[in-house]
Amino acid sequence: MRMRRIPGNLICFTELVLSNRHMQLKFDGYTSEWLPITNGIGQGDPLSMILYIIYSSGLVDVVKPHRGWESIMELTLAFFDDRPVIAITKDF
């Protein structure tokens, strides 16, 4: 997020939202103790799409013309959790 120049207060907010989280497993009448969640984003969390776009935005930087590669047409598309990169050239 810092590499993308996201404001510090939004970085702190994100850290706060993603810290000190716990869960329990419940199935077949069993309930586990509270377990810490140390990574990931909650399923269905509205922030997940935004954070994924920020996280994977570096892939767009990869798709830039390189010296000697002028004959390559590169294209990147993004749709929430999917980002294909396509390269087309006569010699490839």
Q: How many domains does the chain have?
A: 2
Tell me: do 14 and 48 sit in the same domain.
yes
pLDDT at 7: 93
User: Is the pLDDT higher at 47 or at 65?
Assistant: 47
How much is the mean pLDDT over the chain? Answer: 79
Strand partners, 88: 73
Which tens digit of pLDDT belongs to each residue from 68-77?
655 555 555 5
Q: Are residues 29 and 69 in the same domain?
A: no
Residue 2 sits in the same domain as residue 37? yes
| Close Cβ partners of 10 (under 8 Å, ≥ 6 residues apart) | 1
* Residue ranges with strand state E in the chain: 21-23, 26-27, 30-31, 35-37, 73-76, 85-88
pLDDT for the residue numbered 47: 87
pLDDT at 23: 93
Per-residue pLDDT of 35-64, as tens digits, reads: 999 988 888 888 888 888 888 777 666 655
Tens digits of per-residue pLDDT, 4-26?
899 999 999 999 999 999 999 99
Which residue range forms the structural domain that includes residue 75? Answer: 64-92
Q: What pTM, to 2 d.p., does this model score? A: 0.58
Residue 40 is predicted with a pLDDT of 86
CB 11 within 8 A of CB 4: no
Q: Are residues 43 and 5 in the same domain?
A: yes
CA dihedral 92, 79, 60, 45 (to 10 degrees): -140
